[in-house]
Amino acid sequence: MNKRLARRAATSVLGSALVLALGGAAGSCKVKDPDHPLVRAYLSAEPVTPVWNPDISPPEPMWTQKIELPGASVTVSAWCCVGQGFVARFSDESSPRTVFTPGDYVYPTELRVAPREHVVYGRAGGRAGGIRNVTKIFAYDLDRRRLVESVEIDPGLLPPVREPASPRPVR
């Protein structure tokens, strides 16, 4: 019986080491090239000015932008708080769509739009799983209503995150 337990323990340890090694290898695959097409498109899009979200305490930034589409409109929004992502509410649909969910402990930090191309871009950052710092960007096609691409990125390729223009309200 003791041999069986020893084998299980060894298998468990080796399995855990393999998962950690693969996770570490996957975690290092981040965009570091400023000429990456998504980075260039993201940087050329117009940033949406954030405002303070009065519905949470303490107030955190939020972004809302209405975009006109052929025969419809869409309001894209994001909130910098737990469990939130980027959401689109199309005028011809009854329920909002989740555009992009950044992950555990990774929060929206910027929303950008390319109104002529009908594409929205977002940035999110935080400590993924509470373990390592992560910055992600994504592109969402509003005409096709689908995520085009999302990547983890070296945050040094991006400008600083914009804060709301007004001072943070006190509650």
pLDDT bracket for residue 166 (50, 70, 90): confident
In a domain, residue 83? The reply is yes
Q: Which domain holds residue 79?
A: 31-157
In a domain, residue 163? The reply is no
Same domain, 108 and 85: yes
Q: Looking at the DSSP assignment, which residues form a beta bridge with residue 67?
A: 74
Same domain, 70 and 9: no
Same domain, 12 and 89: no
* pTM recorded for the entire structure: 0.79
Same domain, 22 and 71: no
pLDDT at 8: 56
Kindly tell me if the per-residue pLDDT of 21 is higher than 50. no
Same domain, 139 and 95: yes
Task: Give the pLDDT confidence of 23-80 residue by residue, as tens digits.
Answer: 444 445 899 999 999 999 999 999 999 999 888 888 889 999 999 999 999 999 998 8
Same domain, 78 and 2: no
Q: What are the C-alpha distances in Å from 19 to residues 22, 133, 155?
A: 5, 19, 26
